[in-house]
A and B are shown apart, each in its own frame.
Chain A
């Protein structure tokens, strides 16, 4: 199997920073690290397993209803994840609210199925799906780290900025409220893309 399948989604062909897919959810669920992590895992499971199943079915799918068949399989995994979270991690599922259901509309999933799973064998498709999910999750976690740290002064819900620094306790520090709002996520994401493009020169437009 081509080694690029493993490495490409993490940097050279990252779904968020290079392909610019899945931007919507990366703005919505990156207020806290915990939410970002659960979202990343959910998307990874959905892309990996729907790629696997659809790659196994690829020679039987009628081409006229191809997209609908893909949607049915993806939707099934998303609903399963939603149900499991509601049963076993209620607080997290409440925090992510509609965004778990919206994984169905995440372009990365349909993109990888169309571009890869329908033309490749099951195992490489599974790995490609999983790596793309993880590449997406990696960016989510990076953005969420800065947003939670600067916006709420916490990481995974634990206070990391000393309480004595805060203005209300006589200090000099204040949380940046803008970090909590989606526009700041877009700016942070822009910074990540900027860093990547300055390293990877071939992405720069002439």
Chain B
């Protein structure tokens, strides 16, 4: 009995020591957010994304492995604006971790307070599809919007770990500056090779913020309604409109139905390209700056194949 008591005491002592020395545990839903969180938290935190960058964030199961990770987190950052509404509340609740649940000090929604696009002003109901009344939640492809989201994150970080708040503030300023420089570089490159206001058609409005950041123009989505695949009639209508209005390309995320995108592309006689939406490990876009450069290069190559990006 004494042996068991000693072992338990030793394990408790070790866990207390580890807790004192441990880095902050930050969870994010998407990989884009985890890149951002790691930039600001630096070596003071271990940042882990729940998703890997391959998934469609709308359609995720509340996997028990997420719950297990959330139970140990000091901070959990989500995109918000309804993007993770179908699964994240269940993860938060089942984690039994009060700190990362709504109104907990580690609860962090980066989309709060940013200037959203496509905000719906009329009354929303489900006949309008999977519409987000708060606005388009795919803001993370715009460096400008990410900078604004950053400030939400710094606030939460400083609340959870006030002793390092000066460090986080300095990291925030550095990240902000790097993101601005990145935006300026890509903007310059895109404006040199693509006309301002170049129209691009999206399958789902996941790239709208990217276009907004770089002076390009979203020609709308191919979907019948948000989250609803287009009918044959809609495909023809969208494609013919794209052709008539001088749309230059049709783009989609890897999980979008490629047959539909190719059909639109064929009718409209415009090139199509599949582009990543999130940072993904072990790819050429394994960081946010690389993702931005990859998107810009791919767009240039698709629209102006004769031009070297």
Chains A and B come from one and the same complex: no
Q: Which residues of B contact A (CB under 8 A)?
A: none
Taking Cβ atoms with an 8 Å cutoff, the residues of A that contact B are none
